[in-house]
Structure 1
Amino acid sequence: MTNADRNTLVLVGQLIAGEEKAFEQVMEAYYKKLLIYAYSFTNDYPQAQDIVQNVFLRLWERRQNINIKESFQGLLYKSVYNEYIDDYRRKKSSTIINEAYKQALNYAVDDNNHELVEDKIALIKREVEHLPTRCKQIFLLSKQDGLTNSEIATYLNISIKTVEYQIAQAYSTIRKKTETKIKKLAMILFSFIKLN
């Protein structure tokens, strides 16, 4: 075992113990490498950044479950790859979700007019855009990005109760500002699919 391997094991041990400095050292040591690796899949810098940030977020959240079978660096690279695959699947399924979205709208409004359906989608999205900044951010992290309340709380350094309150406020505001038909529609849609 080399000195570098020993140092890595010590660092990982400190990370598992919850030492924030160890986490910062891991980020400093691996962030750029992982970003380049993620970019090799995505060819999209912001997407690569999101993937790597998600990997580090989960690494911290699940630090006590870290199990290194081969190497710590290998674990990180595998995590980036898995995150990319998950992201790819989410985006691929969004096409199917869009179709389900439109079908649900057609069913809910009982109307075959395609333009009417598009108007309803636009109305809901417009109301989301008019939410207060913090409320909108939390709502989109939940409904668009698919983060759990716990992940949002950690990401924004706020309490889970705050996340729950802001999401409830978003639903309430959207319901109040839309027409009677759309009130029912919004509840149906938000229950089954994410906004795109």
Structure 2
Amino acid sequence: MNYSDNKTLIHSLKKGEEKAFIYLVDKFSQRLFAYALTLTNDKDISQDILQNVFLKTWEKRNKINISTSLQNYLFRSIYNEFVNQYNKKRATMRLEHSYFKALDNAIEIKDENSFAKIIEHITEEIQRLPPKCREVFILSRKEGLTNIEISNYLNLSIKSVEAHITKAFSTLRKNLGERVDISLFMLFGIYDNTLNRD
């Protein structure tokens, strides 16, 4: 059976063929986990989301209704499961509803490689930042350190830390365009209000 053909794979899933489900898991696990990780920044939560999506896909296989592509359907399922878990763990995930609306506009994946290309492009732009600026930005946005913690860790004044972060966002906004906030949210799970300022 040629499961690499989406129509064949979907048809086989609806028929309850376990080999089709195993193929689905093998093919999409890695990229879906990577996507979930960009939303949660937590491996355990991401794994839970992934397992729940695959479980629900199998349980509801007879009702699968895909209007775009199987990959888009699965990415959307990951996003929906993330929102469900966020609603249950609102206090620990610390995200605002506006973030979801913003991310929702950027979630449609045009092809199998586009998401990876987006992440690659963002990462490249971050690596092009001046060394100290890049270090401060990553400590702040990826590692989640406060400005005071960064100040103590790097032996910089708080004003210098703030200046580096502002410069980083300004540079990234210039190079990535107006949707930089969405891009950074997809990569780090963060959103910064400074991005909306003129």
- Relative to the length of structure 2, the TM-score reads 0.44
Q: TM-score, normalised by structure 1?
A: 0.44
> Relative contact order (alpha carbons < 8 A, sep ≥ 6): 1 or 2 greater?
2
Tell me which protein shows more helix as a share of its residues: 1
Highest Rg: 1 or 2? Answer: 1
